[in-house]
Structure 1
């Protein structure tokens, strides 16, 4: 049995998805971090995320913002629960470099996430190869950020919720099923795009942000997603299937 392949490079996985015309629209602009790329993207989007090219559980992710000119300290960044403010871009980048200079980082257009009870959330879409070697979206779960943190990861203080719970105040029941179906289809398309470039990948976890217009954005793709978070869902059939498929390709 071939061991499932793990791909660590976030930029590599992003470029694999961007290679597919029908998926490109879901990718927030993502570039390698330099003083110039960060400055340009901050001026354009006002809020961006800076993240290590290789990393897990939301560790090392930094939210960088540029407020209006009327602010005394218009530049800021937050890593973990600590927020720092700066008068000039030069001061911001100098301080940021102390964190990011040790390894390659990316800068990504910031998506203002939908909220649940005041806290930001995103979705994890689990896609696996079936025992018959087809791709199938086997589960979707919501991740609600810790009130003081910028990342939603469960292993970084986030809370797990069902998709229905999170979308209840944004979509009526009649539209919710179709919307979730679109996310499931997108998950399979992403898996095929990753597999086209990285042969041997058997499973992916797609982190999806939803903006105020309910447009989905692919934040990143994990090729070794935690299957056990799906045990938290009340529908036990979901984790049972995930476990069955993972056993078939040797992950569990």
Structure 2
């Protein structure tokens, strides 16, 4: 990597004399690219420079708004170009105020900065000037490990970690991300997004044996029709997450039990009257915003429902990599397994070994089946035009050890589940892979 220093010559880039790979570009004019900008420069090999230093004229620094704090890689673009970078953007918040509060937590993405390098900026929806292609945000300074507020040009690649779907910023988010795709082409990932119903429609033909039967909620009669086929069902928001606004309905001999509210068991309701049952859901749910899903008898441990989060990321070679499978234990008698609803997490190997005493050879077969299902499913989803790079894949395992696809989180899978499972290295590894995939998309 190179540290940039300034001189006051005109449109010149001076490289170390020992940089033989750039020798055929010396004493010639080439295009220097930073982010999505480029500028014509004159390249010179300078024997007075150390191997980790380059000199860039002040007018180039000003024209391309190149910061001096980062360490950069150089890449030759054919016979007449050099790219400096990587330059990666993280859309991290919906508002500038929220960004200012959370920006320090984003340092986890650059925990391994020496392996990433370049400019890393974090920004919000409010910080984008589309007309001038300028972003107000924060640049990571690797020397002080602080984030510097300022105005910066568009990056070469970016990914989103915001969750705009349940907010009034959803349309603005869509507009901004489509804008970036038009400017950066295939260098934007975690967009477009798909919801639970999109997922079901994409996978149901090839993976129907691994999908709970699912229908769109139209009216309380839709629930009654599903209960004729299944003893119990879940009702979930199409775009919901963290186990919020989830209902479980259990058919009884003389009516139905409705469970909701996570651990707040006092909110369970028993309905013996069909009219009261329909009235409850008529006022609780909005048409087309919810799905009704067949309930699966999942593995439990001490009355805690368990499912499994597969942490799936792309690496610097654009290949999917399964980092780990983590068990999620719901709170005692909770209808969901989410950590935010009182659950806990541990590494799945420990769960299978210490809770269920599954022999190692059988575990290998089980993990292989999980990995095959996950990778084949993601391949199908990407064939439908979704550019994913960071996925949280939730797998259920029933009492017969059959695998079920519960959900695929593609907006912002929560890497903090690794910390809940007491694995800080896994947490940093997941975020590192997000960055090196973005680095590859940026051309490095």
Q: TM-score scaled by structure 2?
A: 0.52
Q: Residue in 1 aligned with 2:346?
A: 161
Cα pair distance change 1:7/1:89, threshold 3 Å: farther
Secondary structure of 2:383's aligned partner: helix
Change (3 A) 1:177 1:76: same
Aligned runs of 1:15-164 on 2, under 5 Å?
A: 15-19=201-205, 21=206, 23-34=207-218, 35-69=220-254, 74-80=255-261, 81=264, 82-101=267-286, 104-164=289-349
**Deviation of residue 111 (structure 1)?**
0.6
Residue 363 of structure 2 is matched in structure 1 by 176
In 2, are the aligned partners of 1:139 and 1:242 still within 8 Å (CA)? no
Q: CA 1:234–1:104 in 2, change beyond 3 Å: closer, same or farther? A: closer
Q: 1:9 is matched with which residue?
A: 195
- How far the C-alpha of 1:87 sits from its partner, in A, is 0.7
The answer to whether 1:246 aligns with 2:434 is yes
Contact 1:48 1:110 in 2 (8 A): yes
Deviation of the 1:164 alpha carbon: 2.3
Q: Distance in 2 between matches of 1:128 and 1:121?
A: 23
Note the residue ranges of structure 1 that are not aligned, 5 or more in a row.
none
Instruction: For residues 17-62 of structure 1, give each alpha carbon's deviation from its aligned partner in whole angstroms, at most 9, with x where no partner exists.
Output: 224x2x2211110100133331121111110000011111111111
Question: Take 2:192 and 2:301, find their aligned partners in 1: how far apart are those partners?
Answer: 32
- Aligned residue for 1:249, secondary structure, equals helix
- The offset of 1:90, in angstroms, is 3.0
Question: Could you tell me how far apart the structure 2 residues matched to 1:242 and 1:106 are?
Answer: 30
Secondary structure of the corresponding residue to residue 78 of structure 1: strand
- Structure 1 length-normalised TM: 0.89
Shift of 1:214: 0.7
Residue matched to 2:406: 219
Alpha carbons 1:8, 1:55 under 8 Å: kept: no
Alignment coverage as a number of residue pairs? 245
- CA distance in 1 between partners of 2:383 and 2:253 (Å): 43
**Matches of 2:312 and 2:201, distance apart in 1:** 19
Give CA deviations for 1:162-207 in whole Å, capped at 9, x if unaligned: 2123223162222112211211221111211221224222122111
Q: Report the equivalent of 2:168.
A: none
For residues 230 and 258 of structure 2, what CA distance do their matches in structure 1 show?
A: 14
2 CA distance for matches of 1:146 and 1:162?
Answer: 17
Q: Which has the larger radius of gyration?
A: 2
Higher strand proportion (structure 1 or 2):
2
Q: Quickly say closer, same or farther: Cα 1:139–1:198, change in 2 above 3 A.
A: farther
CA contact (8 A) 1:126 1:187 kept: no
What do you get for the CA RMSD once the two structures are aligned?
2.1
Distance in 1, Cα, partners of 2:363 & 2:194: 33
Instruction: Give the distance between the partners of 1:198 and 1:152, measured in 2 at CA.
Output: 30
- Listed as ranges, the gaps of 5+ residues in structure 2 are 1-156, 158-186, 440-444
CA distance in 2, matches of 1:55, 1:176: 32
The structural deviation recorded for 1:247 is 1.3
Equivalent residue, structure 1, for 2:100:
none
Equivalents in 2 of 1:176, 1:15: separation in Å? 31
Please give the secondary structure, in 1, of the residue aligned with 2:432: helix
Match of 2:390 among 196, 203, 211: 203
- Greater RCO (CA < 8 Å, at least 6 residues apart): 1
Deviation at 1:3, TM superposition (A): 3.2
Deviates more, 1:211-220 or 1:159-168: 159-168
